Protein backbone atom coordinates (compact mmCIF):
# COMPACT_ATOMS: atom_id res chain seq x y z
CA UNK A 1 0.00 0.00 0.00
CA UNK A 2 1.81 3.16 -1.17
CA UNK A 3 0.14 5.55 1.26
CA UNK A 4 -0.24 6.23 4.96
CA UNK A 5 -3.31 7.76 6.56
CA UNK A 6 -3.31 10.23 9.42
CA UNK A 7 -6.70 11.29 10.81
CA UNK A 8 -6.81 14.69 12.49
CA UNK A 9 -9.70 16.28 14.45
CA UNK A 10 -11.15 17.98 11.33
CA UNK A 11 -9.70 16.06 8.43
CA UNK A 12 -7.35 13.53 6.95
CA UNK A 13 -3.80 13.58 5.60
CA UNK A 14 -2.66 10.99 3.11
CA UNK A 15 1.03 10.59 2.37
CA UNK A 16 1.48 8.78 -0.94
CA UNK A 17 4.83 7.49 -2.11
CA UNK A 18 6.40 5.46 -4.89
CA UNK A 19 4.33 4.21 -7.81
CA UNK A 20 0.63 4.97 -7.19
CA UNK A 21 -2.21 3.33 -9.13
CA UNK A 22 -5.84 4.36 -9.59
CA UNK A 23 -6.87 1.37 -7.47
CA UNK A 24 -4.80 2.67 -4.56
CA UNK A 25 -6.32 6.13 -4.89
CA UNK A 26 -9.78 4.57 -4.87
CA UNK A 27 -8.81 2.49 -1.82
CA UNK A 28 -7.81 5.66 0.06
CA UNK A 29 -11.08 7.34 -0.94
CA UNK A 30 -13.12 4.34 0.22
CA UNK A 31 -11.23 4.38 3.52
CA UNK A 32 -12.28 8.01 3.96
CA UNK A 33 -15.93 7.62 2.96
CA UNK A 34 -16.56 4.50 5.06
CA UNK A 35 -15.11 6.02 8.23
CA UNK A 36 -17.58 7.95 10.39
CA UNK A 37 -14.92 10.63 10.99
CA UNK A 38 -15.41 11.75 7.39
CA UNK A 39 -18.86 13.08 8.34
CA UNK A 40 -17.25 15.93 10.29
CA UNK A 41 -14.23 16.43 8.07
CA UNK A 42 -13.40 19.85 6.73
CA UNK A 43 -10.30 18.94 4.75
CA UNK A 44 -8.17 16.40 2.95
CA UNK A 45 -4.46 16.81 2.37
CA UNK A 46 -2.82 14.69 -0.31
CA UNK A 47 0.94 14.71 0.21
CA UNK A 48 2.42 13.45 -3.07
CA UNK A 49 5.97 14.73 -2.54
CA UNK A 50 7.38 11.19 -2.56
CA UNK A 51 5.34 9.88 -5.49
CA UNK A 52 7.64 8.72 -8.28
CA UNK A 53 4.94 7.85 -10.81
CA UNK A 54 1.17 7.79 -11.00
CA UNK A 55 -1.02 5.49 -13.08
CA UNK A 56 -4.29 7.41 -13.20
CA UNK A 57 -5.77 7.65 -16.71
CA UNK A 58 -8.59 9.96 -17.87
CA UNK A 59 -11.32 7.40 -17.20
CA UNK A 60 -9.99 6.79 -13.68
CA UNK A 61 -9.82 10.52 -12.99
CA UNK A 62 -13.40 11.06 -14.19
CA UNK A 63 -14.69 8.17 -12.06
CA UNK A 64 -13.06 9.47 -8.88
CA UNK A 65 -14.19 13.05 -9.62
CA UNK A 66 -17.77 11.81 -10.11
CA UNK A 67 -17.68 9.85 -6.84
CA UNK A 68 -16.32 12.90 -5.04
CA UNK A 69 -19.02 15.07 -6.60
CA UNK A 70 -21.61 12.75 -5.07
CA UNK A 71 -19.89 13.03 -1.70
CA UNK A 72 -19.89 16.82 -1.98
CA UNK A 73 -23.66 16.77 -1.42
CA UNK A 74 -22.92 15.75 2.17
CA UNK A 75 -19.50 17.34 2.63
CA UNK A 76 -20.29 20.76 1.17
CA UNK A 77 -17.32 22.76 2.35
CA UNK A 78 -14.45 20.32 2.14
CA UNK A 79 -11.06 21.80 1.32
CA UNK A 80 -8.69 19.59 -0.64
CA UNK A 81 -5.00 20.48 -0.67
CA UNK A 82 -2.39 18.60 -2.63
CA UNK A 83 1.35 18.82 -2.24
CA UNK A 84 3.55 18.03 -5.20
CA UNK A 85 6.69 19.27 -6.89
CA UNK A 86 6.69 16.68 -9.68
CA UNK A 87 5.30 18.04 -12.96
CA UNK A 88 3.63 14.78 -14.02
CA UNK A 89 1.96 14.21 -10.65
CA UNK A 90 0.83 17.84 -10.48
CA UNK A 91 -0.63 17.63 -14.00
CA UNK A 92 -2.70 14.58 -13.06
CA UNK A 93 -3.96 16.23 -9.86
CA UNK A 94 -4.85 19.40 -11.75
CA UNK A 95 -6.76 17.37 -14.34
CA UNK A 96 -8.80 15.86 -11.50
CA UNK A 97 -9.49 19.38 -10.16
CA UNK A 98 -10.51 20.64 -13.61
CA UNK A 99 -13.00 17.78 -13.98
CA UNK A 100 -14.31 18.38 -10.46
CA UNK A 101 -14.93 22.02 -11.35
CA UNK A 102 -16.76 21.02 -14.54
CA UNK A 103 -18.97 18.82 -12.34
CA UNK A 104 -19.62 21.87 -10.14
CA UNK A 105 -18.06 20.43 -7.02
CA UNK A 106 -18.59 22.59 -3.94
CA UNK A 107 -15.13 21.69 -2.69
CA UNK A 108 -12.21 24.14 -2.68
CA UNK A 109 -8.92 22.94 -4.18
CA UNK A 110 -5.41 24.29 -3.95
CA UNK A 111 -1.89 23.05 -4.67
CA UNK A 112 1.15 23.55 -2.47
CA UNK A 113 4.88 22.83 -2.42
CA UNK A 114 5.08 21.97 1.30
CA UNK A 115 2.98 20.43 4.06
CA UNK A 116 3.00 23.42 6.42
CA UNK A 117 1.47 25.74 3.82
CA UNK A 118 -1.20 23.17 2.99
CA UNK A 119 -2.04 22.73 6.69
CA UNK A 120 -2.39 26.47 7.23
CA UNK A 121 -4.78 26.76 4.28
CA UNK A 122 -7.03 23.82 5.15
CA UNK A 123 -7.23 24.75 8.82
CA UNK A 124 -8.31 28.34 8.12
CA UNK A 125 -12.01 27.74 8.82
CA UNK A 126 -12.86 31.35 9.66
CA UNK A 127 -11.60 32.82 6.38
CA UNK A 128 -11.87 30.12 3.72
CA UNK A 129 -10.18 30.84 0.43
CA UNK A 130 -13.12 31.29 -1.97
CA UNK A 131 -10.91 31.24 -5.04
CA UNK A 132 -9.25 27.84 -4.76
CA UNK A 133 -7.28 27.10 -7.90
8 Å CB contact between 118 and 83: yes
Res. 132 pLDDT band, cuts 50 70 90: very low
Residue 40 belongs to what H/E stretch?
none
Residue 5 pLDDT > 50, yes or no? Answer: yes
Give the percent of the chain with pLDDT over 70.
92
Structure-model confidence comparison of residues 129 and 60, the more confident one: 60
Give all domains of the chain, ordered by start, each with its CATH number. 3-122 (3.30.750.24)
Question: In terms of C-beta density within 10 A (0-12 exposed, 13-18 middle, 19 or more buried), how is residue 69 classed?
Answer: middle
Tell me: the pLDDT tens digits for 18-63? 999 999 999 999 999 999 999 999 999 999 999 999 998 999 999 9
Amino acid sequence: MPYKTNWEPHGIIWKFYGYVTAEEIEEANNEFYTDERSDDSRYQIIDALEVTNVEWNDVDIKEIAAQDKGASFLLHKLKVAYISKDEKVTAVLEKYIDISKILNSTWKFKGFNDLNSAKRWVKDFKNPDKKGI
